[in-house]
Structure 1
Amino acid sequence: MIKSIMMLFSSTIFSSVLTLLTQTIVASELGPEAFGIFSSSLALVMLLSPIIAMGSDGYLLKFVTNYDHDLSRFNFNWIIYFILTSFPAVSVFLLIDLSQSSYLLILMISQSLINFSVAILQSKNHFISVSVLLILQSFSRILALVLLILFTDNVTINIVIILYVFVAILMVTICLILLNKHGFGFKFITKGQFKKYELLSFIKSAAPFGFTTLLHLAYFQSDIIIINRLFSSEEAGLYSAAFMILTAAYMIPSVLYQKYFLPIAHQISSAGDLIREFNYFRKGAKYIFLLSLLTAGSYYLLSDFIVMKIYGEDYVVSSMYIKVLSICIVFRFLSSNSGVFLMTKDLVHKKNKYMFICAVFNITFNFILIPRYGAIAAATTTILTEILLCVLFYRGIRKYKFSKIYASSLC
């Protein structure tokens, strides 16, 4: 267990470092204004990518605990679902993104395939393969970027876009080969598999898992887009630079809960062992809280040094945003601990409800405050949203998951 966690943790951290280095180099080469435009388009890609085959990766982890022998039918429904959901995702991107970054839409396809491939490997406990796949995209991007800088005098936004598109095509190819190896793809479709009611049932079961990611990204990525459109591209670039560094901290609970513990949580929940679940929840809350305090404190104290070393004087304002946003780390870590248990059984609907409330809260206040106050308004709204989400998640866990245990403790 410890070996698997450390393997996933190391690969995720390494991938995050590579992503941070890549974005840092891009930010330095383009400058705040051009980087703001690029970051806004990239944020839009990440916001819309969960629409494609929405929730099928999360649903697969639940599906295999009960129907591991029937993956051929899952494969057929997933392919149809993937095709159907690609059209609205691509259409919305082309409608909203009016810059030269529209070619980045291929990243939506690649990201969806990566997420599903990771889920397949997770379901089979192939954690080494998961680690390699998590690193591959980030490594390919920074390698291509370094080679580009060595052979090109002037790195422009168009060149960076071409680089990202090239890596996305590479990842699509690798994922298709991987999917084929594990029995997924057009090759494994047989006649007579299409049944309308089964497809509708599949969508109904999978979509809630995707809504969780989509609603999270709605307030996690939308502020950069709103700053770029309603305030200034330069401000969006400065805020995005700060947010990239913050995202590295968010990888810690992500790998612990989503990459490693989620399949285990489904298994424990299916077994009906509520006491064991509660013990995981209680111990997790204690340890993750201590880790969050250490991480948040480090970010606050080292923000000036980090920004100057990574970005330089052009991005000095970003250190202020990091200081403010470091408060979010504590609440994000705690939310991750409770949120993973809201992914089990039928509680994902409750989780989506809480995420929807937070997304509406965040986007509403961003539209009101950002045009007047800029990125500092986005940072403040993000803190309030993380606090609200943490409170709602713990309320949901107490009321819908462990109500019997809490009730007995009061007797």
Structure 2
Amino acid sequence: MNIKKSLKALSSLWLGSILAAFLAFITQVITARLLGPNEYGILSAALSAATLIAPLAGFGIPQLWLKIFGVEGYAGARWISASFKFIKISFSVTIGLIIAWALLGPHNVETTIILFVLTFHIGHQLFTEITSSKLQLEERYQLLSLIQIIPHLLRLLAILTVSFLAASSINALTIALIYAGAAIPTVLFGMSEMARLKKGKFLLKGHEKNNSPSSYTTPTSTQVFFDSLPFGMAATFHLIMFQVNIILISYIATPKEAGLYNVAFAIMTAVYLTPSVIYQKFLLPKIHRWSIHDRSKFIAIYKKGNIAMLILGVMTMVAVAVLAPWGIPLIFGEKYQEAVPVLQVLSLCTPLRFLASSVGVTLVTQEHMKLKVYLMGIAATFNTITSIIFIKQLGLTGAAISTVLSDLLLLCLYYYFAQKKVFSHDKSNSLETTI
């Protein structure tokens, strides 16, 4: 791997992701200040519900493409036609589910309308994922960075404009409409990129055009579904662990408390950016390739990654915990002071999630993805059950404690099975040399 070229690509992704995260964070701050905890909680719960169901649209197809093209090279084009058919079906089903939840769930009229509006946000999520997968395979990292930045910039500019013209009339529905409008450019660009992909207009990096698709059988939509199922389930379980607490708090407690929790969640989302950029946006296609074609590099990345993520995670945890009492009132306002202890508890998740990113990525390779999904399902179920119990008993702090325990459980499961299944036949891979 060319170090200079890799650093340049990673820098591009890093800067793009940092700017996107910064814009998203500023948007959250302004929204929270404009709406107040109650309206902010209503919006947060609706957005979390839409985001939670969004992976069903496309259900793992973007991640499947990274694996297929990483292993098969240009022959992976045989999967495209059936993938598009499956995406159309899964997207339609997902929109139907969010509409059904809006109509049948225990909502007030405002929340129902917001959920209808956020169907556009589901389209944004879908096209962001599938377009990003194509750009990753082509290593067009600068364009990938722009895809991350533009929707956040549009939301922020729209919210600032509306707040300047009519700040007193802004409510959760207003912000939801802005999210829907900001989805349009992403969807249009994604449709253009997918049309190019369907026509075979793509250039894979790291592969030669020496393997013809005709040497493979063409998969059906049913086969695509079963092959993408583990990736789709993994995305769903990840979001359950990541966002289900906001929804549960909204229904078990109050929208105001959901708004308070979402302030801490917004900060932690920015914190988790580092491992996401490194592993999901930069290394993942390469790790798929190395796991098959360069085992020594695969093992080296695993070992060095574990050490780096653990050290960086601990340092970040300390910084978040120490700065929380000063940062939340300053940034979000005094009315969000109650979010401070929640953030301090959630900061304990930082080294756990950083390290889980390094360990868990090995379970995405080869035949291990189904195992990873199973482990994520265990952790997501544990998180949901304990959150319901802890929220009733301890409120917001209980939700945070449940998240920490779930992250610890997932990391332990990842590490145990990575050692047992992924590296069992590789030498020099003891605990002392990996963490």
TM-score range, shorter chain: over 0.9
> CA separation in 1, counterparts of 2:10 and 2:195?
27
1:320, distance to aligned residue in structure 2 (A): 1.2
Aligned residue number for residue 291 of structure 2: 269
> CA separation in 2, counterparts of 1:241 and 1:144?
21
> CA separation in 2, counterparts of 1:399 and 1:379?
31
Q: Which of 101, 125, 134 is 2:148 aligned to?
A: 134
Aligned residue number for residue 349 of structure 2: 328
Preserved CA contact (<8 Å) 1:75 1:184:
no
> CA separation in 2, counterparts of 1:128 and 1:86?
28
Aligned residue number for residue 338 of structure 2: 317
Q: Which of 378, 402, 415 is 1:357 aligned to?
A: 378
One-letter code of the match for 2:292? S
1:241, distance to aligned residue in structure 2 (A): 0.7
Distance 1:181 1:248, change over 3 A: same
How do residues 167-186 of structure 1 correspond to structure 2 at under 5 angstroms? 167-183=182-198
Distance 1:388 1:408, change over 3 A: closer
Preserved CA contact (<8 Å) 2:33 2:332:
yes
Preserved CA contact (<8 Å) 2:58 2:87:
yes
Q: Which whole-Å deviations, capped at 9, do the CAs of 1:258-301 have from their partners, x for residues lacking one?
A: 00010110110121x33322111111111111111111111011
Aligned residue number for residue 306 of structure 1: 327
1:409, distance to aligned residue in structure 2 (A): 6.4
How do residues 203-352 of structure 1 correspond to structure 2 at under 5 angstroms? 203-271=225-293, 273-352=294-373
Q: Which whole-Å deviations, capped at 9, do the CAs of 1:308-366 have from their partners, x for residues lacking one?
A: 22111010111111111000001000000011111110111111011000011011112
1:178, distance to aligned residue in structure 2 (A): 2.6
1:222, distance to aligned residue in structure 2 (A): 0.8
Distance 1:58 1:83, change over 3 A: same
> CA separation in 2, counterparts of 1:331 and 1:409?
19
Preserved CA contact (<8 Å) 2:79 2:218:
no
Preserved CA contact (<8 Å) 2:70 2:286:
no
Q: Which whole-Å deviations, capped at 9, do the CAs of 1:190-217 have from their partners, x for residues lacking one?
A: xxxxx99622111111121121111111
Q: Secondary structure at the match of 1:345?
A: coil
Distance 1:268 1:408, change over 3 A: closer
What value does the CA root-mean-square deviation take over the aligned residues? 1.9
Distance 1:10 1:197, change over 3 A: closer
> CA separation in 1, counterparts of 2:143 and 2:185?
17
Does residue 49 (structure 1) correspond to residue 54 (structure 2)? The answer is yes
> CA separation in 2, counterparts of 1:121 and 1:407?
35
Q: Secondary structure at the match of 2:147?
A: helix
Aligned residue number for residue 101 of structure 1: 114
> CA separation in 2, counterparts of 1:340 and 1:66?
16
> CA separation in 2, counterparts of 1:377 and 1:230?
12
Does residue 124 (structure 1) correspond to residue 138 (structure 2)? The answer is yes
1:71, distance to aligned residue in structure 2 (A): 5.6
1:175, distance to aligned residue in structure 2 (A): 1.6
> CA separation in 1, counterparts of 2:428 and 2:309?
25
Task: Give the stretch that moved more between structures: 198-207 or 20-29.
Answer: 198-207
> CA separation in 1, counterparts of 2:345 and 2:38?
22
Identity of matched residues, %: 28
Q: Which whole-Å deviations, capped at 9, do the CAs of 1:86-123 have from their partners, x for residues lacking one?
A: 23322332233431312112111110111110000000
Q: Secondary structure at the match of 2:366?
A: coil
Aligned residue number for residue 179 of structure 2: 164
Q: Which whole-Å deviations, capped at 9, do the CAs of 1:200-245 have from their partners, x for residues lacking one?
A: 1111111211211111111211110000001111110000111100
Preserved CA contact (<8 Å) 1:307 1:315:
yes
Preserved CA contact (<8 Å) 1:72 1:184:
no
> CA separation in 2, counterparts of 1:91 and 1:199?
20
Does residue 389 (structure 1) correspond to residue 410 (structure 2)? The answer is yes
> CA separation in 1, counterparts of 2:387 and 2:344?
19
1:407, distance to aligned residue in structure 2 (A): 7.8
Task: Give the stretch that moved more between structures: 97-106 or 211-220.
Answer: 97-106
One-letter code of the match for 1:101? I
One-letter code of the match for 1:405? D
One-letter code of the match for 2:371? K
Preserved CA contact (<8 Å) 1:303 1:322:
yes
Task: Give the stretch that moved more between structures: 150-159 or 379-388.
Answer: 150-159
Q: Secondary structure at the match of 1:238?
A: helix
Distance 1:368 1:77, change over 3 A: same
Does residue 37 (structure 1) correspond to residue 58 (structure 2)? The answer is no
Preserved CA contact (<8 Å) 1:398 1:406:
no
1:70, distance to aligned residue in structure 2 (A): 4.5
